Structure 1
Amino acid sequence: MRIRDIGVRIGRGTPGPLNSITDVEGVRVGHRTVVEKNDKVSIQTGVTVIEPRAGMARLAPCFAGYHVLNGNGDATGLEWIRESGLLTTPIAFTNTHSVGVVRDALVEAERASAGSHQYWCMPVVLETFDGLLNDIWGQHVSAAHVHDALAAAQGGPVAEGCVGGGTGMICHEFKGGIGTASRRLAGDGGGWTLGALVQANYGVREELRVGGYPVGEVLRDVPSPFRKREAGVPGMGSIVVALATDAPLLPHQCTQIAHRAGVGLARVGGGTEYASGDIFVAFSTGNRGLPVADYGRQSAPLSTVQSVNPDYMTPLFVAAAEAVEEAILNALLAATDAEGQGTHVSALGAERLLHALERVGWRPDARRA
């Protein structure tokens, strides 16, 4: 179930054919879900990988940028993006305590794919906290799981909700996880595609907005997973976002796109909690043959690249905000009830959401309030 399946339209833009980050040609997504429950432990975690180009290695980079809205989180590889403006590896999403093993596994995979042609790599790994449902201290994500996710990476529809890195995540005190959406610009706006993939694990219930409607205010009766003192506080968690586009952007333009993820997050009711790490990465596949440091190997002294005219950036900003907003709502609707470590987390669910929307004045033909 996705937000458009229940008749709710987000923004005015037009989604791509799949309404997914994989609408951007060449982008692939792979999940590895890790679930095991017994009397002693609850394992509900995993890893999700986003490949900007199929089989991408350091010798086929993309221009990229990032934005940290709130730094109560962790990531690897962002300093290299800031310094070089290049994304040179896949991006991975996982849980807080598995960043290291995922990063190391991506190094191993890059070495295996590039062999002696590669001196080093700096993988980009982002995290959110799944410790309410998952035995996070057990560090149950392994290198083998990362390799499985890479092997599963493909174009086409992307599984959402309780999968991959989003398996144990919570969003607005409902079950959260992975979500994706896209926008395709009109021809006079460039005709480019922009897609978002989120790992949503943030938010306070009362702040939840859907299409501008304050549904969280009428959903307070649903039990919160934070009702127990040891469970933490509402709003703790994080959200990480990957934004992809085939528009030929320069690094600073990718950074501008990454900033607009925060607009989409705010529309759903997030971005204001200190205990949330909100980190966004944006990349462009629109330029190929980009320069990369070869450290002594022969390379051309100049490269020719294209960039979008600043007058045409506004539609991309709108697309980024809408795609992130819709991806978060898709994550919420795709997720199912979950229980682990003595914590129960209810899914938002289509029926509950529609009832809440009706209570706050929404109707099927309504647009943003």
Structure 2
Amino acid sequence: MTRARDLGIALGGEPGPWNAITDVPGVELGHVTLIEGDDVRTGVTAVLPRGRAGAWRPCAAGWYALNGNGEMTGTTLISETGALGSPIVLTNTHAVGAGHRGVIDWTVRTHPDAAGRWLLPVVAETYDGYLNDVNGDHVRREHVVRALDGARGGPVAEGSVGGGTGMTCYDLKGGAGTASRLVRYGADAYRVGAYVQANFGTREELVIAGVPVGRRLPGDVPRVLDELPPGAGSVIAVVATDAPLLPDQCRALARRVPLGLARTGTTGSHFSGDIFLAFSVGNADGWPGDGGYGTLRFVPWESMDPFFTAVVEAVEESVLNALVSNSAMTGRADHSVPALLDVWGFRAGVPAEPVRLDVSAGHPGPKP
């Protein structure tokens, strides 16, 4: 799998070992990808902040909507309590109900104590109806259960997988992307990881390493816009860290996500639901049950800037990874979307020799 760094793109910061959201200790992620016949190009992704064993243990959390033309369930409870106590599921727009019910089914089997009270899972969506039969009820609750059962740490598959299977980004094949950064605070070192389901932007907006590459890419733009307004589709971002933070500090991380997206060129279309969630797995013992007192350690606000930088860098790289780690796809109604690497003039996938993109000279082609 080729990633943005493999192409020599200049990206700031120090990534973690996997350069993925799973570099944050305890975070697990699973995909179920559905590609069937001519019309099914969809799936589901599950993120478990404290792993499967701790799926319903609270984390400090906050969320932010740049544009509310989308859905992320469970956010009113996060606003009320400052805590995330649920798995996170990402899928397509018309499968939110299946995602919600699938989390409940999985919880009844694996965490019966948690299932004994009301459950308000976090389920977020982006629209894959250009490539996928979005009305066909293809994502079902059992697929959500499989994604949760299959969640693991370690390297993360990117591109056309899980909930990102049928997504389009900058009129190119988009979908799943992830990255991470190391942040040092005193004698401690923390991870900040981002995961995006990228389904937004128009071709001419695309910027890579500060260069407006989208305006110079050869070839025709797929006629996504015949059915959807320019820039339509949405983007969901999940940000995780093991730094001990307060809920308002997590919300501040979520508010930095648009800055990372903007580095890749988007101006935030009205028809793109842009919703972001950030959580901290620090303070593992700080959230008591009934009775007693909670105790939360936190990084002082005046020391938060490196964490903000880490979010911006990781989100930018996550979007680029979603574009680079991909192949062209044809789906519903014979609609086809090219991959970035194909448009750039070489086969998507791992090239025989390392390939560098000569963005510094403003040339969109391969650099030896």
Report the TM-score when normalising by structure 1: 0.91
Assess if the C-alpha contact under 8 Å between 1:226 and 1:234 holds in 2.
no
Assess if the C-alpha contact under 8 Å between 2:31 and 2:150 holds in 1.
yes
| Residue matched to 1:324 | 315
1:67 aligns with 2:64: yes
Larger CA deviation: 103-112 vs 69-78: 103-112
The residue correspondences of 1:1-369 to structure 2 (distance < 5 A) are 1-11=2-12, 13-38=13-38, 42-57=39-54, 59-117=56-114, 118-188=116-186, 190-219=188-217, 221-226=218-223, 229=226, 231-291=227-287, 299-341=290-332, 342-349=334-341, 352=344, 357=359, 360=362
Assess if the C-alpha contact under 8 Å between 1:27 and 1:52 holds in 2.
yes
Instruction: Decide whether aligned partners of structure 1 residues 195 and 189 sit closer, same or farther in structure 2, where only a CA change above 3 A counts.
Output: farther
Displacement, 1:95? 0.2
Assess if the C-alpha contact under 8 Å between 2:287 and 2:295 holds in 1.
no
Instruction: Decide whether aligned partners of structure 1 residues 267 and 111 sit closer, same or farther in structure 2, where only a CA change above 3 A counts.
Output: same
Assess if the C-alpha contact under 8 Å between 1:57 and 1:110 holds in 2.
no
Displacement, 1:32? 0.1
Which structure 2 residue ranges, 5 or more long, are not aligned? 346-355
- 2-side partners of 1:125 and 1:59: how far apart? 14
Q: Helix, strand or coil: the match of 1:191?
A: strand
Which structure 1 residue ranges, 5 or more long, are not aligned? none
Assess if the C-alpha contact under 8 Å between 2:176 and 2:197 holds in 1.
yes
Assess if the C-alpha contact under 8 Å between 1:56 and 1:89 holds in 2.
no
- 1-side partners of 2:366 and 2:335: how far apart? 34
Displacement, 1:360? 1.0
Displacement, 1:189? 8.2
- 1-side partners of 2:173 and 2:90: how far apart? 17
Counterpart amino acid of residue 143 in structure 2: H
CA deviation vs aligned residue, 1:129-169 (integer Å, no higher than 9, x gap): 00000000102001111111111100000000000000000
- 2-side partners of 1:359 and 1:291: how far apart? 52
Displacement, 1:289? 2.4
Q: Helix, strand or coil: the match of 2:31?
A: strand
Runs of 4+ that moved beyond 6 A: 362-365
- 2-side partners of 1:155 and 1:205: how far apart? 33
Q: Helix, strand or coil: the match of 2:344?
A: helix
Assess if the C-alpha contact under 8 Å between 1:179 and 1:330 holds in 2.
yes
- 1-side partners of 2:71 and 2:184: how far apart? 36
Displacement, 1:312? 1.4
Assess if the C-alpha contact under 8 Å between 1:57 and 1:88 holds in 2.
no
- 2-side partners of 1:58 and 1:33: how far apart? 22
> What do you get for the CA RMSD once the two structures are aligned?
2.1
Number of matched residues? 354
Instruction: Decide whether aligned partners of structure 1 residues 188 and 284 sit closer, same or farther in structure 2, where only a CA change above 3 A counts.
Output: same
Instruction: Decide whether aligned partners of structure 1 residues 43 and 91 sit closer, same or farther in structure 2, where only a CA change above 3 A counts.
Output: same
- 1-side partners of 2:187 and 2:40: how far apart? 46
Assess if the C-alpha contact under 8 Å between 1:98 and 1:141 holds in 2.
yes
Displacement, 1:239? 0.4
Q: Helix, strand or coil: the match of 1:75?
A: coil
Instruction: Decide whether aligned partners of structure 1 residues 14 and 355 sit closer, same or farther in structure 2, where only a CA change above 3 A counts.
Output: closer
Counterpart amino acid of residue 337 in structure 2: V
Instruction: Decide whether aligned partners of structure 1 residues 139 and 362 sit closer, same or farther in structure 2, where only a CA change above 3 A counts.
Output: closer
- 2-side partners of 1:114 and 1:151: how far apart? 12
Counterpart amino acid of residue 10 in structure 2: R
Displacement, 1:335? 1.3
Displacement, 1:22? 0.5
Counterpart amino acid of residue 128 in structure 1: T
Displacement, 1:188? 3.8
Q: Helix, strand or coil: the match of 1:304?
A: coil
Assess if the C-alpha contact under 8 Å between 1:338 and 1:345 holds in 2.
yes
Q: Helix, strand or coil: the match of 1:282?
A: strand
- 1-side partners of 2:338 and 2:358: how far apart? 15
Assess if the C-alpha contact under 8 Å between 1:246 and 1:285 holds in 2.
yes
Counterpart amino acid of residue 20 in structure 2: S
Displacement, 1:113? 2.2
Assess if the C-alpha contact under 8 Å between 2:324 and 2:341 holds in 1.
yes
| Residue matched to 2:353 | none
Aligned identity (percent) is 45
Report the TM-score when normalising by structure 2: 0.91
Instruction: Decide whether aligned partners of structure 1 residues 124 and 168 sit closer, same or farther in structure 2, where only a CA change above 3 A counts.
Output: same
